[in-house]
Amino acid sequence: MKPVNLKLISYIFSLFIILSVPPFALAEEQGHAHGQHEDEEPELNFSTVQLQEFDIKLAQAKSGVIIKTLDLTGEVIVAPERLFHIVPRVSGVVRQVFKHLGDKVAAGDLLATLSSRELANAKAEFVAADSLLQLANTNLKRERELYKSNITAKRSYLVARQVQAEMSINRKAAEQRLLATGLSEKSILAVIRSVDKDLTLYELRAPADGVIIEKHAAQGEVLNINTRSFTVADLSQVWVNLTVYQMDLPSIHQGQQVSISTHFGIADQQTESISHISWLSPTLNEKTRSATARVVIDNPNGYWRPGLFVSANVAIAKKQADIVIPLTALQTIDGQTSVFVQHDDAGFEAQAVQTGRRDFQQVEIIQGLKPGQTYVSQNAFSLKAQLQKGEFAEGHSH
């Protein structure tokens, strides 16, 4: 074996070190070549035209009032005066069903038809009573003329008048029975004129606008006068029953402003409705030892569904704060609550802030804003989108 040439090995190792370029030096050189700085944030500059285009509003930080709130929970229910239970006023067999569970209906819409022997008998009695009254009227008129001509005795005239009165009462009673079944005066006249050929036909109609939330009527089924065939609910306005425990009762009273919200909405977006306490129960529930505060809220889009659990913030006091801004000004950037502030050069920067108390629309700023400092109060998400766009472009520019 030949001896190892140590000088040759040392020379080769030195040459390798000289020719090699350290990775960190290469990265630094490339970074300078591209003129990039990792700690440099994208510039946020919006012209006056752009501010108007994106409806971005500016405001100056100043003091204000924060409304102290009390958190309560509750449930959405159907307003009782807007709930309609539909039962047939005569017994019968379901002939045809026109509306089904979940259908929207307008007042007067036909829900179902029945074949009712009871209704047919009532109509027949009315027709008979009307015919007898017409006959009694004719007879009374004849007896009156004969009595005036001294052809017949007064007794015959009085008997005819008594019969006419009895027939008039019978017809009125028969008409009232038909009205009690839900028939209109127009429908009753149709019975007399023989326009109504099917005396057994009974119609179930919607008493008001709403949506069908219950249905117990199927073709061929026998419905009695105590059978709840349909339930229609007008959900354009609903109630929210809030639970108020004993310890919170001194702070709750009628007329207080309430913010109703839920996180169980579409795409997990919180939806909010502002209203007032319209009623507070005078007694407590024996099991829960709690009172009920009622809030009435408009529901034009049907979002507030009966049975939905909600949260409520009740305004119970007002507190002064040094700096108060609208909730719309807050944005979450890199996990921090931030506000976009404007510099003297008209540029914008996301500035982290520390929040304090808040109410339905405003929040107290403890740190991060100074009095008089200009910030974005509305549509700040437009700046956030621009900021994230700049960060994304920077991250992919290598």
Identify the pLDDT of residue 183.
86
Q: Are 339 and 387 in contact (CB under 8 A)?
A: no
Identify the pLDDT of residue 51.
81
Identify the pLDDT of residue 114.
95
Tell me which residues of the chain have a pLDDT lower than 50.
1, 4, 11-41, 266-269, 392-393, 395-398
Tokens of 247: 């310890």
E strand or H helix at 244, and its extent?
strand 237-245
Q: Are 205 and 194 in contact (CB under 8 A)?
A: no
Q: Is the domain 44-64+320-395 a CATH 2.40.420.20 member?
A: yes
230: exposed, middle or buried (Cβ count in 10 Å: 0-12, 13-18, 19+): buried
Q: Are 364 and 355 in contact (CB under 8 A)?
A: yes
Domains in the chain: boundaries: 44-64+320-395, 71-79+234-319, 83-116+205-233, 119-199
Q: What is the pTM of this model?
A: 0.64
Q: Which CATH architecture has domain 71-79+234-319?
A: Beta Barrel (2.40)
Identify the pLDDT of residue 42.
52
Q: Residue 315: beta bridge partners?
A: 69
Identify the pLDDT of residue 86.
95
DSSP string, 171-238: HHHHHHHHHHTT--HHHHHHHHTT----TTEEEEE-SSSEEEEEE---TT-EE-TT---EEEE-TTEE
Q: What class does CATH assign to 83-116+205-233?
A: mainly beta
Fold of 119-199: Helix Hairpins (1.10.287)
**pLDDT tens digits, one per residue of 247-282:** 999 999 999 999 998 876 544 445 678 899 999 999
